[in-house]
Amino acid sequence: MGELRTVVITGAARGLGFASAVRLYREGWRVVAAMRTPDRGIPLLREATGAGEDDDRLIGVQLDLMDVDSVAYAAKSIEERVGAPYALVHNAGISSAGMAEETDADLWQRMFATHVIGPVALTNALLPSMRAAGEGRIVLVCSSAGVRGQPATAPYSASKGAMERWGESLASEIAPFGLGVTVLITGTYDTEIITDAGTTDDRDFGGPYARLHQTMNTRGRFAMKMARSPERFADGLVKALADRSPFRRRAVGPDALMLLVSNRFLPSSGMHHMSRIVLGIPRQGSMRNGAYPLTVTQKAMVFAVKVIPQPVMQRIVAAAAKRSAAKQPPQQQTD
Ligand SMILES: NC(=O)c1ccc[n+]([C@@H]2O[C@H](COP(=O)([O-])OP(=O)(O)OC[C@H]3O[C@@H](n4cnc5c(N)ncnc54)[C@H](OP(=O)(O)O)[C@@H]3O)[C@@H](O)[C@H]2O)c1
């Protein structure tokens, strides 16, 4: 890279934003790391990059996307410190777990404030200088869950989908000024957002959707084991920042790529059924009148009981009980 280019990354304190900030700094970019808590995040970024306190290639800016004043103030400080940034990466995000019926209005508002309203406001505030510069890129960190609405995360899916639609509109509007938009359809990466602790969890395991939560929870945990390192995500971002076309939609990660390909070739009804089967969701109508369809494991157990002779079955059950007892931690002495 010849001239010094500036990239603003939101949510740079941890996860994908942190890994991306480190990578782009190492690639020679001037990185404006926007975050809720720069006092905590910037020293960590300095440590990871080796940047000194007076290094003007690593700049911290305070930004809370849910606070309109904070967004306006962040845009002002970015322009004061670096002028028009070349790139703006909307990475900050939050996740949720729970059926739409289980979620409240506050969660929907937080999702749309973080993924749509805040990013739109920050972009609008920076666009006059970016348009004047006549070149630049806006990158939206979207998600597989936003390509199609996924069950048990409707506020996240809806807001990430809205983010994509905004990006498409924006690309047509700003392309004549020399700017472009890249949407990153992000697969599964090993950060806090995919853990219970990093998610607003409204799932009711005793409520009407318990049967759906049961299989989705097990299969979701299995999928988490496939999560790739945040550093791999940065590879995709580096490519996005090199994009020059007015609009580009890229998959980051093999799972995201597979989803985009299936979504392109399968009809919507096919995608619905594929997602239903992958997540272990019972068929339409199968839970009417309080019915509770068996899970695949339960069905396999029923089948096994029918075909395996009783003495063999008893031995299997005894062995399983022994193995599970061996896994239990020793009981604490209470007296
Ligand atoms: N990891 C994945 O598998 C995956 C998959 C698809 C899409 N994504 C997307 O990738 C992006 C980054 O997620 P991640 O995996 O890095 O998750 P993460 O580790 O939980 O990081 C999320 C970041 O967003 C910031 N943030 C949240 N709300 C904010 C707000 N109101 N204002 C400013 N910053 C805010 C957080 O700041 P604090 O540190 O202050 O909380 C944190 O830095 C998100 O948009 C997410 O939807 C991730």
Check if 119 has its Cβ closer than 6 Å to any atom of ligand 1: no
Angle at 154 (CA atoms; ends 149, 160), nearest 5 degrees? 65
Of residues 325 and 273, the one with the higher pLDDT is 273
Angle at 200 (CA atoms; ends 199, 202), nearest 5 degrees? 130
pLDDT digits (tens, 9 = 90+) for 11-60: 999 999 999 999 999 999 999 999 999 999 999 999 999 999 999 999 99
Q: Which domains does the chain have, with CATH numbers?
A: 6-279 (3.40.50.720), 294-325 (no CATH)
At 115, the amino acid letter reads H
β-pairing verdict for 136-143 and 87-90: parallel
Q: Give the position, in ligand 1's atom list, of the atom nearest the Cα of 90.
A: 45
Give CA–CA dist 115/6, Å, rounded: 22
Check if 49 has its Cβ closer than 6 Å to any atom of ligand 1: no
Query: How many whole angstroms from 308 Cα to the centroid of ligand 1?
Result: 49
Q: Across-strand partners of 255?
A: none
What does the pLDDT read at residue 292?
86
Q: Taking the CA atoms of 87, 92, 98 and 103 in sequence, report the sign of the dihedral they define.
A: negative
What value does the mean pLDDT of the chain take?
A: 94
What counts of helices (H) and strands (E) characterise the chain? 13, 9
